[in-house]
Structure 1
Amino acid sequence: MNFLLTKLNDTFRDKKAYFFIVLIMFCLGISFGLYTVKYMGASDRNDLMNYFSSFSNSIANEPVNYGNLLFEVIKKNILLIVPIFILGLTFFGAPIILILDLLKGFSLGYTFSFMVTTFEGKGIGLALVSVIPQNLIYIPCFIALSVISLSMSTEKFKGKFFKRGKNKNSFLDGILNKLIIIIILFLIGMLIETYLSPSLIKFVTKRFYS
Structure 2
Amino acid sequence: MNFIINKLNQTFRDKKVYFFMVLIMFCLGISFGLYAVKYMNESNRNDLISYFSGFTSSIGDTPIDYGNLLFNVIKKNMLIIIPIFIFGLTFFGMPFILILDMLKGFTLGYTFSFIMTTFEGKGIGLALVSVIPQNLIYIPCFIALSVIALSFSTQRFKGKFFKRTNVKDPFLNLIGNKLIIILAVFTIGILIETYVSPNLIKFVVTKFY
Which residues of structure 2 form unaligned runs of 5+? none
Distance 1:20 1:162 in 2: 25
Distance 2:186 2:33 in 1: 23
Distance 2:10 2:47 in 1: 45
Q: Partner residue of 1:162? A: 162
| Compared CA separation, residues 196 and 37, structure 1 to 2 (3 A) | same
Matched residue SS, 2:45: helix
Q: Partner residue of 1:104? A: 104
* 1:133 maps to 2:119: no
Deviation of 1:45 after TM superposition, in Å, equals 1.2
* 1:206 maps to 2:195: no
Distance 2:11 2:78 in 1: 21
Q: What does the per-residue CA deviation read over 1:90-121, in whole Å, with 9 as the maximum and x for residues that have no partner? A: 00111100110111101100000000111222
Distance 1:54 1:4 in 2: 47
* 1:34 maps to 2:21: no
Distance 1:103 1:54 in 2: 27
Question: After superposition, where does 1:54-203 map in structure 2 within 5 Å?
Answer: 54-203=54-203
Distance 1:168 1:25 in 2: 27
Matched residue SS, 2:166: coil
Which amino acid in 1 is paired with 2:43? S
Which amino acid in 1 is paired with 2:21? I
Matched residue SS, 1:90: coil
Distance 2:173 2:44 in 1: 49
Q: What TM-score do you get using the length of structure 2 for normalisation?
A: 0.94
Which amino acid in 1 is paired with 2:12? F
Which amino acid in 2 is paired with 1:54? G
Which amino acid in 1 is paired with 2:120? E
Distance 1:3 1:187 in 2: 24
CA-atom RMSD in angstroms: 1.8
Paired residues of 2:155 and 2:168 also in contact (CA < 8 A): no
Distance 2:46 2:176 in 1: 47
Q: What TM-score do you get using the length of structure 1 for normalisation?
A: 0.93
Which amino acid in 1 is paired with 2:27? C
Distance 1:77 1:28 in 2: 20
| Compared CA separation, residues 192 and 164, structure 1 to 2 (3 A) | farther
Paired residues of 2:133 and 2:192 also in contact (CA < 8 A): yes
Which residues of structure 1 form unaligned runs of 5+? none
Distance 2:48 2:3 in 1: 43
Q: Partner residue of 1:48? A: 48
| Compared CA separation, residues 160 and 29, structure 1 to 2 (3 A) | same
| Compared CA separation, residues 205 and 177, structure 1 to 2 (3 A) | same
Distance 2:3 2:73 in 1: 26
Deviating above 2 A after TM superposition, structure 1's stretches of 4 or more consecutive aligned residues are: 1-14
Paired residues of 1:159 and 1:165 also in contact (CA < 8 A): yes
Distance 1:61 1:7 in 2: 48
Matched residue SS, 1:121: helix
Which amino acid in 2 is paired with 1:61? D
